[in-house]
Structure 1
Amino acid sequence: MNQERKVIVAMKHRVMMVALFAVITSPVCAAKLSGPPRILDGNTIELEKTKLRLSGIDAPETDQICLDAHGRKWACGVAARDELIKHSNGRTWDCHTTGVDEYGRSRGSCFIEGEDVNAWMVRSGWALSGLSTHTYVIYEVVASKAYAGLWSGAFIAPWDWRRRNKGTIIIGASSVPGDAQELLLGSALLSDPPSSECLIKGTMDRNGERIYYLPGQLGYEQIDMTKKSGERWLCSEAEAEATGWRKAAR
């Protein structure tokens, strides 16, 4: 009897999951948004009070560090965000959403005066074509051959940066410096913020929940950014909350 109940429960769970997936991916979740956006990072914006992640591409996080053409460290994640802000230049975006991601952000494609913003990010070297899609891979080839953006030096693919370890592969359009592993994977890499504006500390609690602390909050000074792989610097509360972080209670 217990086995029959387990089967029934499992079937109900499967039906619920299928129904949830259908809701998330259905046309009902699709929407059109328009206006000048607030740009949070290289592939996340806020438009009409909706947080949206540009689909089909992956830009570096704002805490990501890369190497330039001379092998020097630079804040490429902040640069990717700033280049998108500069390209946007206060103009109106037209976005089409097609679902949501694991953080509750809408996913979609955006256009500025008919130009595909997602494609522009990859073509300009500030993002890579998404790991699970090849929609923009041709633009990635164009960017690498032009040594544009991230491709001007050496870097870690954004999806690898988020779970990097000593064995993480470092890529580049020409060559990777011999000390790239030490520079980009050293334990002390993020002891200092990548930019003077990125002073928010994100850390994992005992339950694996993402918590962020603002300067001045109790516990902020005690967080050592070199200790845990899940810790990172964040540039704004809007960015933190759009990427799954919750503010510390005190």
Structure 2
Amino acid sequence: MYRLTKIKWSMSLLLSITFLFGCGSEDLNTDQKDKATKVIQQEEAPPETDDTSIEEPVNEDPPKTSETPTDRKTFDAEVVSVTDGDTIKVRINGQVEAVRFLLVDTPETNHPRLGEQPFGQEAKTFTKQLLEGKTIQLEKDVSDRDKYGRLLYYLYVDGKSVQEELLRNGLARVAYVYAPNTKYVDQYYAIQKEAQQQGVGIWSVENYAQEDGFHEEIIEGKQAETSTPNQSTQQPSGDCTIKGNISSNGDKIYHMPGQQFYDVTKIDTSKGEKYFCSKEEAEQAGFRASQR
């Protein structure tokens, strides 16, 4: 009986020890699993960053921003005065600045060397009527000042591009195309081409607006500064009324009576210009027919 009781007691003790070690092992495994999970989570989590510490590039433009219908980034400015067809003065945050229109050039009205050029007053009047006393929107390209300290911007008023309106009405040419400020140059050239085809404004006189500027001698029939005025101007005789004109770049063009540029074309024999009696005679002399 004693032996049987001892055996039972030994078996109970063994089971208790097994149970205790089993539970401890299970608890240990659980702790290890928890620690392993935490390590994995720490390895997979991205490094902590403070997003607010990463600053966006500073925008030096005035804070009053708006969006044009084409989602262009613009800011408001108050027009103070119109200097020329392509230059105005505006007030930005209380400061008056001169603004030169990007990528376009209009004839001068008060240039110290060139004076007043044909269509200059028309361009200035157009810009004045369009902008004077209004709040406009300005858009920066890349660089925003020229060597004279003037601001260089694209201008918008009442949702319309001022540059495009000047080009469309033949009061400006595409000019001063310097990288990196070339954002809208392609569409400006497309609008200019339409104005050229329609012969409006500066394009109504052949060869007046050229790549190097405006040539008022084409309109006014001015002679070279070394020539004596009116001495070499030839008048038509008899049936020889076809005008053979030579442009400032050496292009020889003849104009028939009734054509668009016939009346404004002057013949200066000192430049090799002359009247012809027939188209054949003009073409044999190396002149081509005027396109309009």
TM-score w.r.t. the length of structure 1 is 0.48
Higher RCO, Cα 8 Å, sep 6+: 1
TM-score w.r.t. the length of structure 2 is 0.42
